[in-house]
Amino acid sequence: MAQAAKKTKESFFTGTFSSFSVDDIEEAREFYGKTLGVDVSDNEEGGLELSFPNSGSVFVYPKDDHEAATFTVLNFLVDDIDTAVDDLAGRGIEFESYDGEMETDEKGIFRGADDDNGPNIAWFKDPAGNFLSVIEN
């Protein structure tokens, strides 16, 4: 007896995007657009749309009672983390410093790839206190 073909689940999803809040939308526009150089446009809902080549977009929205995320909300992929960190530091970005298991070096880079313990990554915050990172491909 022949087995019936396994039915696959049909997806009704038509796309994806991520979002996070900030406490000052104009400050976010300045930071993401001018400091980081991201393509920023106004969104119909009163927020911002951050557009990234080959990656889609992220919706940033204002929230009066915003609380900064305690986790990384946005990772920027880079080919060379040292070049990216140096460039961003030159634009006034201050990188987080950690001790212990995820200890960062003097530049603020966790060099996990050096000992097969994850990626090379450096964390920083936006003006609303949300955690962002640059992470090496």
Q: What is residue 100's DSSP assignment? A: G
| Other residues' Cβ atoms within 10 Å of the Cβ of residue 136 | 20
pTM for this predicted structure: 0.88
> Tens of pLDDT along 4-51?
556 567 788 887 889 999 999 999 999 999 999 999 999 998 999 999
Q: What is residue 73's DSSP assignment? A: E
Which of the following CATH numbers is that of domain 19-136: 3.30.70.3170, 3.40.50.10140, 1.10.620.20, 3.10.180.10?
3.10.180.10
> Tens of pLDDT along 91-104?
999 999 999 999 99
